[in-house]
Amino acid sequence: MGMLNDKVAFVTGAASGIGESTALRFAGEGAKLVIADVKEDELRRVGHAIKQAGGEALAVTCDVSDADSVKNALAEAAAKWSRLDVVYANAGVGGVWAPIEDLQPEEWDRTIGINLRGAFLTLHFAIPHLKQSGGSIIFTSSVSGNRTFAQSGAAAYSTSKGAEVALMKMAAIELARYGIRVNAVCPGAIPTNIGQSLQSRNTEKVSLPELPHGDQNPALHGGVGEPRDVADVCLFLASDLSRHVTGVEIYVDGGESLLR
């Protein structure tokens, strides 16, 4: 019997990386999946992979920065199986990394709009569905903006990720009375394609010394993890094993951020 049998999970940013790995992990533990992303072709590929492995999945196109898009996607998710148990607000972008004086207001707005507004909208529209029987909400935050601030030029990204943890903690207190748990995973160096959404400009002006990599880095696995490492933590937070865990950020970085 799977850890998520009979549960329905909604995952944003599910077309690749951590979102894809977590969706597959949830499906492997018996959850019915609603996977959401703006990348339709990749989303269909993930949905096909879930079904090929014997799982159930519904793919919905969703722009997490758009209120109507998020509202409609969650409504479709709840309508498909008449319930919703797990909501994983994972979608995000790297945005523009630049010195604060070089970072343009529209670049700031886009990063905050997708990462922080997207997390808020997913939370906001998920609550009415989860109130019916309780459940779990998980955010993908980051070590950046929470336990380390040494990434040159990452002001917008770090702010969005730090604010996600503050939002998570507020929601955890507010929603506990309904049996809804709210937590966050904070990955460190996890190779995904988020780098494709990241632009770097003039960061050498504010650069800081880097930690050694590979065998010289004293953190677990040299400080570099895999998407499945985050997916396993999300599985714990989605399952009944975390029934008394809420308002917590869990760092998934092999301890590397402790060295900064």
Given 88, 157, 178, 251, which residue is catalytic? Answer: 157
Catalytic residue status for 178: no
CA dist list (Å): 180 to 6, 48, 173, 222, 250 = 17, 30, 10, 36, 18
> Which structure tokens are listed for 251?
């760092």
CA 69 to chain centre: 18
Strands 86-89 and 8-12: parallel
Distance, CA of 32 to CA of 134 (rounded, Å): 17
- In the 8-state DSSP scheme, what is residue 99? -
Distance, CA of 86 to CA of 100 (rounded, Å): 36
Residue carrying the six token digits 């196109």: 61
Partnered with residue 27 across adjacent β-strands are: none
- In the 8-state DSSP scheme, what is residue 100? T
> Which structure tokens are listed for 93?
């972008």
Pick from 21, 25, 42: nearest CA to 235: 25
Distance, CA of 6 to CA of 10 (rounded, Å): 13
Distance, CA of 101 to CA of 255 (rounded, Å): 31
Residue carrying the six token digits 């770097």: 200
CA dist list (Å): 87 to 101, 120, 137, 218, 225 = 36, 12, 5, 34, 23
Enumerate the active-site residues. 157
